């Protein structure tokens, strides 16, 4: 077993912690949650006036009733909040779980390495245990990514429809000028709400799209951890253990214990604050 295997990403996970940035940023997800809540609130407000506005819109020949678009966005958003955001919370739980267990397992490995004759069998068992813990996490990350990607894909389609509808509404306003001041006021409010809806949708699309690469990165992290654990276990089993630099190995493991402790704390804070805006 060589020092390099114990000095790399497995025992010093700084390569995927850029500038000490936490792996799941609370501010990024709370920005998404805030936009989702604004979108949901605006949709509820518009849809509550369905009967009044539908009657107005039936007198505008160039407009297809936009309520199906609004209902689709509403259903999609509620599903996204209930399912995909719940999966993000689970991701933080996975990080917390792995971080706490890695802290304990690596601490135990340090103790075993400190023996006059290191207990390599138990060291391998501890690393195998971490590998088993890691097995399901990559699937959870993929589930979250798929939910984000689907939301972006469908929301982009509806954004295009909203842009088209907004243009038609502006033109259609001329058709209802004779309907009376009250009707015109309701219609103008609807146009204003649709403009706000388009603005929120555009911002939300941008925010969700920005998180997609972060989720892919997190998926890569789990894959890398699994690969490095596998390599380390293999090296322990096949190479001359007496060639290991114990001082360097234990130093690297102590760094890993501290860093996984920090990652677990970051994930815990994320979980504690995640639902503040829900």
Least confident of 16-20, 42-46, 77-81: 16-20
**Rounded to 5 degrees, what are φ and ψ at 107?**
-60, -40
For the stretch 127-183, pLDDT in tens is: 888 888 877 787 888 889 999 999 999 999 999 988 888 877 877 776 666 666 777
Can you read off the two tokens belonging to residue 98?
């792995």
Q: What is the mean pLDDT of the chain?
A: 79
Overall size of the chain counted in residues:
278
188: DSSP letter: H
DSSP string, 76-139: HHHHIIIIIHHHHHHHHHHHHHHHHHHHHHHHHHHHHHTSSS--HHHHHHHHHHHHHHHTTHHH
Q: Left (φ > 0), alpha (ψ -120 to 50) or beta: where does 19 sit?
A: left
**Rounded to 5 degrees, what are φ and ψ at 50?**
-50, -50
1: DSSP letter: -
Least confident of 27-36, 38-47, 57-66, 97-106: 57-66
- Dihedral sign, Cα of residue 209, residue 213, residue 214, residue 219: positive
- Dihedral sign, Cα of residue 179, residue 174, residue 172, residue 156: negative
Can you read off the two tokens belonging to residue 6?
């114990």
Query: Is pLDDT larger for residue 270 or for residue 10?
Result: 270
Query: Is pLDDT larger for residue 250 or for residue 155?
Result: 155
What CA dihedral angle connects 254, 259, 264 and 266, to 10 degrees? 150
23: DSSP letter: S
Q: What is the rounded distance in angstroms from the CA atom of residue 84 to the CA atom of residue 78?
A: 10
Quick one: pLDDT at residue 178? 61
Quick one: pLDDT at residue 127? 86
Banded model confidence at residue 7, pLDDT cuts 50, 70, 90: very low
Q: Which fold has domain 3-11+23-277?
A: 1.20.1170
Can you read off the two tokens belonging to residue 241?
């253990």
Is 17 in contact with 259 (CB distance < 8 Å)?
yes
């Amino acid at each position: 077993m060589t020092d390099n295997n114990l000095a790399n990403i497995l025992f010093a996970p700084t390569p995927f912690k850029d500038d000490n940035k936490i792996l799941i940023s609370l501010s990024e997800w709370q920005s998404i949650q805030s936009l989702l809540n604004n979108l949901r609130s605006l949709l509820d407000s518009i849809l509550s006036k369905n009967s009044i506005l539908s009657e107005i819109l039936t007198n505008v020949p160039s407009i297809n009733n936009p309520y199906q678009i609004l209902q689709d966005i509403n259903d999609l958003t509620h599903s996204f909040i209930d399912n995909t955001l719940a999966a993000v919370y689970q991701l933080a739980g996975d990080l917390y779980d792995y971080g706490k267990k890695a802290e304990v397992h690596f601490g135990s490995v340090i103790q075993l390495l400190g023996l006059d004759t290191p207990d390599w069998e138990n060291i391998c068992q501890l690393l195998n245990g971490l590998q088993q813990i890691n097995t399901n996490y990559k699937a959870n990350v993929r589930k979250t990514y798929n939910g984000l990607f689907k939301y972006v894909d469908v929301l982009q389609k509806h954004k295009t429809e909203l842009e088209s509808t907004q243009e038609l509404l502006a033109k259609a306003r001329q058709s209802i000028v004779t309907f009376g001041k009250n009707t015109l006021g309701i219609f103008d409010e609807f146009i204003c709400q649709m403009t706000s809806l388009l603005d929120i949708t555009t911002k939300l699309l941008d925010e969700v799209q920005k998180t997609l690469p972060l989720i892919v990165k997190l998926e890569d992290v789990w894959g890398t951890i699994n690969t490095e654990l596998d390599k380390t276990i293999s090296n322990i089993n096949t190479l001359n253990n007496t060639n290991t630099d114990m001082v360097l190995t234990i130093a690297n493991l102590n760094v890993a214990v501290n860093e996984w402790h920090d990652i677990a704390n970051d994930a815990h804070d994320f979980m504690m604050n995640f639902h503040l805006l829900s």
